[in-house]
């Protein structure tokens, strides 16, 4: 009989005591449970993922009337208050009318009306523009200022109040030059902007799952948007896309009047994290409001910029220059959707099996290091697994040879076992001895 030339292993069994087996089962189950809870529940590894693609439009509404003539004169910092006594609507304070994923609301301003191009005295708040004679107004002009200098030192109107006896260099610019002074010292001109509202229309899609939705509640009530106002503490109004500006600033942790005075920025995050394995109606946006602006900034605080409105009268071009202070609202849309996937499930099963195998291997190593008896037995197991079929065949063949050598010398085939009392017994013993030797020789040659 010949043994095939393929590799094989002989198994051995190692018996652990009760406590070792119990610890092993506990560790195995804990590893399995932890992996499944983390991968399946926390990380949702059985789901295919897709990221949100969105577009956002905004519409601000609100009207306010300002009249500085009713304000305490001690809180007025400008001589001419007429530019600020007016009605303000969204066309006046939303600048520009549309921005990509953001909107700006002007809350405070410095207005300089009826400017024309010409030559006039520089603003005395620029220290380098103050002069005594023409030699102090050399050309070329410094970088700071409202325009290039003409080289003359002239009187500045109104310097007797703030800069008595001072002159300034003459510049070519839009005259009169802007006096960079906010009209009120106590609060922003448009402090009532806290009651203005903004409608945020956000449409999203998850392309991989062909899923689309808006942040506006699907309802047959046509007056829903006319009456609702977002309130994060009221579940019935959490899907309302209309926000009061004062509430947004408050949710972000700011005081509206402080940020309205010098300007700043607020982040609005719309989070679409959805599990599409459940009802699609459960996929709803969650809003977060973040502080981006720092109130305690000592250098260049707030947020401001300038814009102008030009017009012509009697062939002369005039402009109204406005330095706008306000709040920039930045909208960030983020989100991820998950849906059950057969491929992900198979990968999860394979990863789970692999993790359990690793845990079993680690436990075996620990047991080998802590238990010498287990270490010796496991070494035999590991050595058996390394034996090839040819090595095993050689070992069995050698055992057969040793056995047959002993068989040749065995007396059980001789007649001595039965005695020499009769001829028939002697003949029978000789015959058995001859047959036994022939069988042993044949088996030895076969081995």
Q: Would you give per-residue pLDDT tens digits along the chain (447 residues)? A: 444 555 555 555 555 556 666 777 777 777 777 777 777 776 777 788 899 999 999 999 999 999 999 999 999 999 899 999 999 999 999 999 889 899 999 999 999 999 999 999 988 888 788 888 898 888 766 567 888 888 899 988 764 445 555 788 999 999 999 988 999 999 999 999 999 999 999 999 999 999 999 998 777 777 888 888 998 888 778 889 999 999 999 999 989 999 999 999 999 999 999 988 888 888 999 999 998 877 777 788 889 999 999 999 999 999 999 999 999 999 999 999 988 888 887 887 787 777 777 777 777 777 666 655 555 554 544 444 443 444 444 555 566 566 556 555 655 444 444 444 444 445 555 565 565 566 556 555 555
Do 218 and 274 lie in one domain? The reply is: yes
d(CA 397, CA 322) in angstroms, rounded, equals 106
Do 203 and 348 lie in one domain? The reply is: no
Do 257 and 237 lie in one domain? The reply is: yes
Establish if 164 belongs to a structural domain.
Answer: no
Establish if 10 belongs to a structural domain.
Answer: no
Establish if 160 belongs to a structural domain.
Answer: no
d(CA 256, CA 405) in angstroms, rounded, equals 106
Do 192 and 108 lie in one domain? The reply is: yes
Give the global pTM.
0.70
d(CA 393, CA 97) in angstroms, rounded, equals 90
Helix (H, G, I), strand (E, B) or coil at 68: helix
323, 115 Cβ separation under 8 angstroms: no
Do 308 and 288 lie in one domain? The reply is: yes
Establish if 134 belongs to a structural domain.
Answer: no
Question: 192: which 2 tokens?
Answer: 């009532």
Establish if 190 belongs to a structural domain.
Answer: yes
Pairing of strands 316-340, 47-51: antiparallel
Do 359 and 250 lie in one domain? The reply is: no
Domain range holding 258? 50-122+177-339
Do 412 and 347 lie in one domain? The reply is: no
d(CA 447, CA 442) in angstroms, rounded, equals 9
How many CA atoms, within 13 angstroms, populate the side-chain half-sphere of residue 166?
20
Do 400 and 438 lie in one domain? The reply is: yes
Establish if 354 belongs to a structural domain.
Answer: yes
Partners of 310 in the beta sheet? 319
DSSP state of 39: I
Number of folded domains in the chain?
Answer: 3
Establish if 130 belongs to a structural domain.
Answer: no
Residue at a domain's end among 386, 401, 420? 386
Residue 287's nearest CA partner among 223, 243, 228, 227 is 243
Do 114 and 191 lie in one domain? The reply is: yes
Give all strands (DSSP E) within 122-215, no chain letters.
130-131, 149-155, 167-175, 197-206, 211-214
Do 243 and 274 lie in one domain? The reply is: yes
What CATH number does residue 238 fall under?
A: 2.60.490.10
Establish if 2 belongs to a structural domain.
Answer: no
Do 205 and 331 lie in one domain? The reply is: yes
Do 248 and 102 lie in one domain? The reply is: yes
Kind plus residue range of the DSSP H or E element containing 371: none
């Amino acid at each position: 009989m010949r043994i095939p030339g393929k590799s094989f292993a002989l198994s051995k069994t190692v018996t652990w005591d009760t406590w070792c087996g119990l610890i092993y089962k506990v560790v195995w189950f804990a590893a399995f449970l932890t992996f499944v809870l983390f991968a399946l529940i926390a990380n949702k590894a059985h789901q295919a993922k897709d990221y949100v693609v969105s577009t956002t439009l905004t519409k601000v509404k609100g009207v306010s009337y300002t009249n500085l003539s009713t304000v305490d004169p001690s809180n007025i910092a400008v001589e001419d208050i007429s530019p600020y006594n007016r009605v303000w609507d969204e066309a006046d304070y939303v600048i520009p009318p549309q921005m990509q994923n953001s909107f700006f609301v002007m809350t405070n301003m410095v207005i300089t009306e009826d400017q024309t191009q010409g030559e006039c005295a520089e603003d005395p708040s620029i220290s380098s523009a103050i002069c005594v004679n023409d030699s102090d107004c050399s050309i070329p002009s410094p970088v700071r200022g409202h325009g290039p200098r003409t080289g003359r030192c002239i009187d500045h109107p109104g310097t007797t109040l703030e800069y008595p006896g001072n002159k300034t260099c003459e510049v070519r610019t839009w005259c009169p030059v802007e006096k960079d002074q906010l009209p009120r010292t106590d609060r922003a001109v448009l402090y009532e902007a806290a009651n203005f509202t903004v409608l945020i229309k956000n449409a999203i899609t998850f392309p991989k799952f062909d899923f689309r939705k808006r942040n506006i509640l699907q309802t047959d009530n046509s007056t829903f948007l006319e009456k609702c106002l977002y309130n994060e503490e009221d579940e019935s109004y959490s899907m309302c896309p209309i926000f009061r500006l004062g509430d947004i600033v408050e949710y972000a942790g700011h005081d509206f009047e402080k940020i309205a005075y010098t300007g700043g920025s607020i982040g609005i995050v719309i989070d679409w994290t959805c599990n599409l394995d459940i009802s699609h109606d459960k996929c709803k946006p969650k809003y977060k409001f973040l502080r981006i602006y720092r109130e305690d900034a000592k250098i260049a605080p707030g947020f401001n910029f300038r814009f102008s409105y030009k017009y012509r009268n009697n062939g002369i071009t005039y402009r109204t220059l406005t330095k706008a202070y306000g709040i920039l609202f930045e909208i960030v849309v983020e989100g991820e959707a998950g849906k059950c996937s057969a491929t992900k499930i198979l990968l999860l099963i394979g990863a789970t099996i692999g993790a359990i195998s690793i845990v079993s291997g680690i436990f075996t190593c620990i047991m080998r290091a802590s238990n010498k008896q287990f270490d010796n037995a496991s070494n035999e197991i590991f050595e058996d697994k390394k034996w090839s079929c040819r090595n095993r065949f050689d070992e069995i063949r050698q055992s057969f040879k040793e056995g047959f050598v002993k068989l040749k010398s065995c007396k059980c085939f001789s007649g001595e076992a039965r005695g020499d009392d009769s001829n028939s017994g002697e003949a029978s013993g000789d015959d058995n001895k001859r047959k036994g030797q022939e069988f042993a020789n044949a088996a030895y040659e076969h081995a």
